[in-house]
Copies of this chain bind each other. A is one copy, B any other.
Amino acid sequence: MVNCRFTVAIHVLCLLAAQQPQPLTSELIAGSVNTNPVVIRRLLGWLRKAGLVKSQPGVSGGWELVAKPESITLGGLYQIVRPGTVFAMHSQQPNVLCPVGRNIQRGLGIHYQKAQAALEAELDHTTIADVLKDVLGTSS
């Protein structure tokens, strides 16, 4: 159950891209994702702060894309919905009296950064437009 924000974000952006320029309500989107509308509004709130979507309250309101689907990369989206890092350091600080404990986090940092950069670089090869094409092109 944990950590499906990224997947849901892609799902929602694909929906908005598919129905462009029609605004979609959080309730309708929640029906496709199979969750609660408030979950969708919370997620789209983050995406709005990042400039990807806009919202319109009131009758016949809803959510629309602002950015072009071809310009939204999965890597960029990942950074928005998951600002933390893939890897976590120790929950408690290790023992500073041990040479390994004292220096391990400094030693690991650079390797973690490089690995995460490789992940995001690979994700950057794909855009919402690509995913939408894959999804709608599937034969069922």
Given A33-B94, A90-B33, also A11-B101 (CB < 8 A) = yes
Q: Does A115 contact B (CB under 8 A)?
A: yes
User: Contact at A11–B116, with CB atoms within 8 Å?
Assistant: no
Number of copies: 2
Per-residue CB contact flags for chain A residues 6-47 toward chain B (1 = under 8 Å, else 0) read 111011001100100000000000011111000000000000
Residues of A near any B CB (own CB < 8 A): 1-4, 6-8, 10-11, 14-15, 18, 31-35, 74, 86-95, 98-108, 111, 114-119, 121-123, 126, 131-132, 134-136, 138, 140
CB-defined contacts of A8 to chain B, threshold 8 Å: 90
User: Contact at A98–B2, with CB atoms within 8 Å?
Assistant: no
> A96 CA to B100 CA in the complex, in Å?
52
